[in-house]
Amino acid sequence: MKRILIACGNGVATSTVVASKIKDKCAEEGIDVSVVQCKLLEVESKASEFDLLVTTGKYSNDDITIPVVGAIALLTGINEEETLDNIVSYLK
């Protein structure tokens, strides 16, 4: 099972939308995932426990060693499939 950390400003609203779309795409691809949502401020303390970090805003931290995907496209709908495909590529 792959573990995905999804971070947004408050760890609730936009990360819920993103999490739902990622779960659906992973189910289509046959990838078993566990998704945890958090605030952007919590990422540094949690990231080491996960395989992938997905954020709804810009995020940069050289201490984070897992892949990071910006997922604003999952909120706007622009390049959504490309972003989902990118996420899946990190999980395979």
Question: What's the number of CA atoms in the CB half-sphere (13 Å) around residue 90?
Answer: 20
Q: Per the confidence metrics, is the pTM higher than 0.85? A: yes
Residues known to be catalytic: 8
DSSP string covering 30-56:
T--EEEEEEEGGGHHHHGGG-SEEEES
- Summarize pLDDT for 21-54 with one digit per residue, the tens: 999 999 999 999 999 999 999 999 999 999 999 9
- Picking from 41, 30, 32, 28, the residue whose alpha carbon sits closest to that of residue 3 is 32
Partnered with residue 5 across adjacent β-strands are: 36, 53
56-92 per-position pLDDT tens digit:
988 889 999 999 999 999 999 999 999 999 999 999 9
